[in-house]
Chain A
Amino acid sequence: MQSSFDRRRVNGPEESHAPVYDDEEPESSSMGAQRNGRSAKDVRPIFLKTGLISQANGSAYVETEKTKIACAVYGPRQSKSTTYSERGRLNVEVKFAPFSCKQRRAPLRDAEDRALAVLIHQALAPAVRLELFPKSTVDVFVLIIENDGIEGCVASGSVAASTALADAGIDMLGLVVSCAACVSPKDEIWLDPTTDEAISAKGCITLATVPALNLITNIWQTGQMSLDEMDQCMDLCQEQCLSTHSVVAQTLLDANKSPS
């Protein structure tokens, strides 16, 4: 009782749960068989824009239907660490808005924030030229406003963070683009799974690449997949990353073409 009391917030009830509706069950069972008006190789339409957060050095907003992510980059700025380092440091912080999922997420106690932050950091770190700003840090803040699939959040978050870094003028070897895929119960490979598709899938994989250098920076796989399925998923993700890369490129060109 005493330990869970938070003195920095308005405290509501000790426990609360989202309402459970009677007719929720049959919809999820029918969802497992098919996709919602999308073919296996389709990804959700991508909206990507830079420069929406004026205080940040660089920012990006990405939206793929029901996944909405805002990203801000601050830096290079002075590191608070007391140890000297020849290389700069890249910090990634991921936060879910409390209203971003069906179940409310408490603002502080979420273990998934850190896991996603590590994944996005691993996707970005090989592409950023950290040796060019010693003793400094670059802080990337990713806010997930609406969540429709954790794999989609990791993929879109990586794309948003990479675009924001380029918008901030951070030196990079190339733009990082990410894509997710899953194996459906009927052994079909679906790109860009939503929450329901990921739940019913046998396994999911998320791939982050630098298409300009043909470099893979991160692979994240969950569930049960055979090696052949993994290979096929990665090939499809890599093809899709090339398409997404052109979306990112167009966004950055538009941002730099128009007089700001």
Chain B
Amino acid sequence: MASSDLLLPGQPMALPRGPLPKVSEGLYERNGQIRASVVGTPQRDGPTFKIEKQRPHPPAPNSVVLGSVTRLSPSQAILSITVVDGIPLPHGEEFTGVIRSQDVRATEKDKIKLADCFRGGDVVKGIVISLGDARSYYVTTARNDLGVIFATSESGATMQPVSWQEMRCPKTGKLEKRKCAKPEGL
């Protein structure tokens, strides 16, 4: 039963009665027929059918991405995007993302110092807002639940967020400034 539901690329989908349903990812319409474009089983989501992606794929606008900061400059932070929509990318196939200074937070955009928000090596959660330029995607952290989710202090210990812009080192008790993400479940 499950194997007979599997569609291959180009294979038409058995249509339900009524008007032609909407198609989403993994399916396409051609000559009044809906066909699969990836291997998988179509799922229904209200009036829409789709084949869900289980494989690594490039970021798209509104993708939730995780990346580590690789470079900092006064106006932007460069990310190496390693997880897209919860699916890790293979090693060596990361995409490049950019957090511009005006995208770090929603308030006081003019007073941002990027060195007070990110450091090299921090793991950052963000949302892709645009395809950007030829090399990098534009990423924003201007939301309470976005920002640094993992950081290492100068003495090498994993820091804990204590407020929206500070993290504390458990070893030395020193506070460091970061744009913190609001932990889930809070």
Contacts and interface: CB of A to CB of B under 8 A. Distances in A.
Interface of A: 55, 57, 74-79, 81-85, 127, 129, 133-136, 166-175, 210-213, 249, 252-253, 256-257
B39 A256 contact: yes
B3 A174 contact: no
Given A129-B37, A134-B131, A135-B134, A172 B9 contact: yes
Contacts of A169: 38-39, 53-55, 57
Contacts of A127: 9
Nearest to B53: A169
B28 A256 contact: no
A81 B134 contact: yes
Contacts of B37: 129, 171-173
A175 B8 contact: yes
Given A78-B93, A82-B134, A210-B10, 20 more contacts: A76-B57, A77-B95, A81-B134, A129-B28, A134-B131, A135-B131, A166-B9, A166-B39, A172-B38, A173-B10, A173-B37, A175-B10, A211-B10, A212-B35, A252-B8, A253-B3, A253-B6, A253-B8, A256-B6, A257-B3
Interface residues of B, number: 29
Contacts of A75: 93
19 contacts: A75-B93, A81-B134, A82-B134, A82-B135, A83-B134, A85-B134, A129-B37, A166-B8, A166-B38, A168-B55, A169-B55, A169-B57, A171-B28, A173-B30, A175-B10, A252-B39, A256-B6, A257-B3, A257-B6
Interface string B45-63: 0000000011111100000
Contacts of B11: 212
A6 to B, nearest CB: 27
Contacts of B131: 134-135
A133 B58 contact: yes
Nearest to A82: B134
